[in-house]
Amino acid sequence: MIRRAVIKQGSLAALSITLLSSFTSFTKANVMEENKTFEVIIIGGSYAGLSAAMALGRSLRNVLIINSGKPCNIQTPHSHNFLTQDGKTPKEISTLAKHQVEQYNTVSFINDLAINGQKIPLGFEIEKENGKTFTAKKIILATGVKDIIPNIKGFSECWGISVIHCPYCHGYEHKAVNTAIMANGERAFHLAPLVQNLTNDLTILTNGKMDFNEQQLIKLKTNNIEVNKKEILEVEHKNGHLQKIVFKDGSKENFLAAYAAIPFEQHTSIPVDLGCELTENGHIKVDFFQQTNVDGIYACGDNSSPMRSVAYAVATGNIAGAMVNKELSHEEF
């Protein structure tokens, strides 16, 4: 008996896109390595960077994207709250996006890590990990942020799956279940009404001494939200799906989802090296048009806003790309 392999239409389409993207990237990379001067260098090739590149490619700008391929949502199973892409995996969205951007011949890609940046008389110079440098008139920072994972056993394995950061991105999929908020003070109080809108079974875990004022405590009690001050030892899970929170006193509580407010840092020191100011919270400071305090440098996506979502990254990337093209056009006019 001869068995014929059956490939679903969607899988075949995805495979075709991947193969075509790889061939296009290889071809462009060979050509691009000979060219070291661009109008725009975009550092970061995820949603914000690709969105900026599309706006610039459609304006015939000579663009280089340097991408290390380490997005912060790499462990997230599905992306939500983005029209036309709701429920897709992050990889599906970024793969299709890159394939579409590759259709614009003035956009080139390098899969590498940018490690240094400096101002030069005619613009900026960016150095890769292998020591090669490229120059551009303008820079777009789409570098994202790096989450600082707490030293709690099991936390890392659950991050982005059942220990989540945003009720808009993930809340619907974790509605009406026993839920924890792993945060304290203002951050926990900010999340409490948003999460309570999705579940009536809610507990705040402060992981130590609570930091709420009297009015906040009254509000939490009125809404039947318990505050647990015990220090957390472990997140018990099965393949990243939360089951219990274990405390240092040996007690446990059952939870199926937890929202965690954890610190972050910029993915790279390049923004600061180039003179970009940061906000008190550690984001790159930008204006309404995504421009930093340094002339010729724009920033978009997670690195410049607490609104961490694919939809927002795409929107700010589009703005940054359009504004850089506008700036270049006015300089040439």
**Predicted confidence (pLDDT) at residue 41 exceeds the cutoff of 70:** yes
pLDDT band at 31 (very low <50, low <70, confident <90, very high): very low
Average pLDDT rounded to a whole number, residues 21-34: 49
Pairwise CA distance, residues 76 & 59, whole Å: 33
Across residues 222-250, what is the average pLDDT? 97
Residue 213 tokens, joined: 């004022």
241-247 and 232-238 beta bridge pairing? antiparallel
Confidence of residue 2 (pLDDT cuts 50, 70, 90): very low
Q: What is the pLDDT of residue 73?
A: 72
The answer on pLDDT for 243 being more than 70 is yes
Residue 248 reports pLDDT greater than 80: yes
Q: Is the pLDDT of residue 54 over 80?
A: yes
pLDDT-derived band at 69 (thresholds 50, 70, 90) equals confident
Give the bridge partners for 70, in sequence order: none
- What's residue 17's pLDDT? 53
pLDDT class for 236, splitting at 50, 70, 90? Answer: very high
Q: What does the alpha-carbon distance between residue 232 and residue 251 come to, in Å, rounded to a whole number?
A: 10
Mean pLDDT of 128-133: 92
Query: Domains of the chain: which residue ranges?
Result: 9-147+264-332, 155-260
Per-residue pLDDT band for 77 (boundaries 50, 70, 90) equals confident
Architecture of the domain made up of 155-260: 3-Layer(bba) Sandwich (3.50)
The band of 34, judged by pLDDT with boundaries at 50, 70 and 90, is low
Instruction: Give the CA angle between residues 230, 234, 237 to the nearest 5°.
Output: 130
User: For residue range 279-289, what is the model confidence (pLDDT) as tens digits?
Assistant: 999 999 999 99
Segment 138-194, tens digit of pLDDT: 999 999 999 999 999 999 999 999 999 999 999 999 999 999 999 999 999 999 999
Q: What is the pLDDT of residue 9?
A: 45
**Which pLDDT score is estimated for 21?**
52
- Cα dihedral value 313, 186, 164, 301, nearest 10: 10
Do domains 9-147+264-332 and 155-260 share one topology? The answer is yes
Q: How many CB atoms neighbour CB 76 within 10 A?
A: 20
Residue 7: per-residue pLDDT: 39
Q: Residue 26 above 70 pLDDT?
A: no
User: What distance in Å separates the CA atoms of residue 234 and residue 219, rounded to the nearest whole number?
Assistant: 29
**pLDDT band with cut points at 50, 70 and 90 for residue 18:** low
Using alpha carbons, select from 76, 152, 148, 67 the residue that is nearest to residue 110.
67
On the question of pLDDT at 3 being above 60, the answer is no
Q: Which long-range contacts (CB under 8 A, 24 or more apart) does 242-247 make?
A: 242/158, 242/162, 242/163, 245/180, 245/205
* Residue with the larger pLDDT of the pair 324 and 24: 324
Query: Which residues does residue 90 pair with via DSSP β-bridges, in sequence order?
Result: none
Q: What is the pLDDT of residues 201-218, one digit of tens each?
A: 999 999 999 999 999 999
pLDDT confidence of residue 97: 94
Residue 26 half-sphere exposure toward CB, CA atoms < 13 A: 6
Q: What is the pLDDT of residues 264-303, one digit of tens each?
A: 999 999 999 999 999 999 999 999 999 999 999 999 999 9
Question: Alpha carbon of 329 to those of 56, 206, 263: distances in Å?
Answer: 11, 52, 39
DSSP state, residue 268: -
DSSP state of 306: S
- Its CATH class, for the domain covering 9-147+264-332, is alpha beta
| 229 pLDDT more than 50 | yes
